[in-house]
Every structure is written in structure tokens, then in C-alpha cells.
Amino acid sequence: MTPRSIALLAALAAMAGLPACSSPQSEQAGSDGAETAQEPDGLAIETADVMEIDGVPIGSAPGTITLPPEARVAVTAPFPGAAVRVFVIEGQRVARGDPLALVRAAEPVQISGELARARSAERLAEARAKRLAQLAEEGIVAEARADEAQAEYEQARATRAEAARLAALGGIGPDGTMTLAAPIAGRVAHVGVETGGGVDGMGAPFVVEAEGAYQVELQLPERLAREVRPGMAVEVALPGADGEALSVGGRIIAVAPSIDPATRSVMARASIGDAPGVVAGRNVSVAIRGSGKGLAVPEHAVTRIAGKDHVFVREGEDWTARPVVVGATSGGLAIIAEGLEAGETVAASSVAELKAQGAE
């Protein structure tokens, strides 16, 4: 055997005696910051610690987004007529004073004529009252005639003032046209007239809704009736554009004093701010927050097993399904009333696979 062959055999023997220098990692950080445990069966399970939070939701209730009573303003025409032009459509945003429609009516033309006649009669009555007052001072006529003339002048002035007020309504022009304007800034919620259509003085051809302030009408279950108070914080769950749930905060502003015997619920009202997805008439779920502390886990860590809520808790190297009582859900978290302790580790992913393994 050559010296080169002997050296090669010695090197191979030395490499065979070395221990393995790499092995699969048991844990690695997930992309969202959660720990991912590599299980023996190949499952990559993201974990989450049971955390303690403040302002625990004491419960959830269904609600409907509404506008405050003062947020809806009807726009009426002071005189019946015909719509010459309509400047807005439903849903359009308007500023205060923006024109909504131009209406022509016959009555304003008559009122303008009456105003002109009333002004002329007022000037005539004023001149007559002054003349008779001077004659009464000189003793030429009786004071009673001067008093009568003064009374006629006061009546003429009142008639002129009334005609002027009527003529000033709706920005009436000399041709009898009136401009209906938006009384507040907001959104045109209703347009009840078309160009060429009639407008009467009893109906409201336009309704404008103020934006920026909304309310939620709640139906509190009987168990929450004694706990909810004005001033408590609420969170309204809304669907986001990318599928992610959004939440809008607010406060309870009123709670009804009695329970509805038909529904066994209590009506309440909360104020919330404006946000994408906040639309009057939308049905939402509202979480009501108390002042205490509680425990929370990711909402998707909770699963139903045999009709009850469970989470998978790490116990040593195993995952154990443990029954829990969920008090409420809010902002992607499930508030746990019973069944867990702070600091315990639960499975935040692959819950369906763990559930299937447990059923085998």
C-alpha cells in the first residue's frame, strides 16, 4: 500500500468518528412574532401566551348604527311651486348654504306685489298721521282724528312688515324663483323632487344628514342590564376592506330604565366616531368594556368540541384540549372568564389539526 493510500484511509476514519453537527431546530420565531414549535408529527404550531388585559369586555350585544336625532334636517319650500333645476343627487356631500334646487312659485310674485302696495300705503298713512298731528297741535282739528290717523299708520306698518318677512323667505327673486339651500354641511340623504316636478309647502323635498357623529342602538341581554352604565367604553366591530376586522371606539350615553317584556332586553345607546364602514342602518356587534382585568387569547385559538369552547394548552411536550368559558370577543381576542391562567401557552394555529388528532 502506498503512503498516499494510507493517508486517505486515516482521514476517512477520522471523519467517521465525528458527531453530527446539525439537527432540526425545535423552535423558531414565526413571521408575525409568535413562537412556532416544530412538532414531531410535522405540525408547525404557532403559540401564544395567555395575557392579562385591562378594560375587559363584560359582554357583547347586537346593535344598529344610527344618526343622532339632531343630525337629520329637512329642507322645505316656503311656498308651493315647480322645480326649475335640481342641483344635487342622493348621497352627494354638500356644505352649508350650497344650493339644492331652484323653485319658481306664483305666490311669491303676488307677495311682492302686496309688499309694494303695503309700502305705498305705509308712506301715505305716515304722511296723513303727521299732517293731522300738526293740525291737532294748532287746534284746527280734534285730537281724536290725529289719534285715528296714527293708528292707521301703525296698522299699515305692520302689514308692510309681514309682507316683507314673507318676501324674504327662501331668497325669493323678482320673478318668483326661490333657492332651496342646505341648512347644514353633510350628505344629501333624500331627494324627493325632479326637475319640472311639483313642490308643495307641506312635504320636504330634501333631507340632509350631518356626518362625523353616529350612534349605536343596542339591545342588551338581561344579564347585562344591571352592569352597563353610561360612560362605559364600547368597541364596534366592522369589516375591513382587506378582510381584516376593524373596530371603532365609543361610549355608552344612555340606558333604558326597564326591561322589554317581549324581548327580555334593555335598550341602550352609545356614541361612536366616524370611520370607514360606519354607515347608518348597518347591523354590528358591540363589545362593552368594564373597568376590571381579565385574561385573553387570540380568538382563533378557541374551537368548539362537543358543543363547548376549548383551547389547546401545552403541557410538557403534549397539547391538551381544555374547556374554557369565553366571556366576550373583541379586537381579535377572546376574553376567557374561566379555564386558563396567565402565562400558560396555547396553540394559536393548526387548531383544526390538533382537534382532528384528538378525535382519532
Rounded to 5°, the CA angle 19-24-30 comes to: 150
Predicted local confidence at residue 49, as pLDDT: 92
All three cell numbers of 216: 349605536
Q: Is this model's pTM higher than 0.85 or not?
A: no
All three cell numbers of 4: 498516499
Q: How far apart are CA 209 and CA 72, in angstroms?
A: 5
pLDDT tens digits for range 238-279: 876 665 667 888 999 999 988 888 888 899 999 998 887 788
User: Side-chain half-sphere of 268: how many Cα atoms within 13 Å?
Assistant: 32
Q: For residues 302 and 310, is the Cβ–Cβ distance under 8 A? A: yes
Share of the chain above pLDDT 90, in %: 30
All three cell numbers of 108: 311669491
Share of the chain above pLDDT 70, in %: 83
Q: How far apart are CA 360 and CA 107, in angstroms?
A: 86
Burial of 125 (0-12, 13-18, 19+ CB in 10 A): buried
Antiparallel, parallel or unpaired: β 51-54 and 293-298: antiparallel
pLDDT tens digits for range 153-209: 999 999 999 888 877 765 666 677 888 899 999 889 899 999 988 888 778 899 998
Single-letter residue type at 172:
I
User: Which of 11-15, 148-152, 207-211, 276-280 has the highest mean predicted lDDT (pLDDT)?
Assistant: 148-152
Phi, psi of 212, rounded to the nearest 5 degrees:
110, -15
Please report where in the chains the cell 310674485 appears, as a residue: 109
Q: What 8-state DSSP symbol labels residue 19?
A: P
- Secondary structure (3-state) at 359: helix
Neighbours of 9 (CB within 10 A): 10
DSSP H/E element including 278: none
Backbone φ/ψ region at 41: left (φ over 0), alpha (ψ -120 to 50), beta: alpha
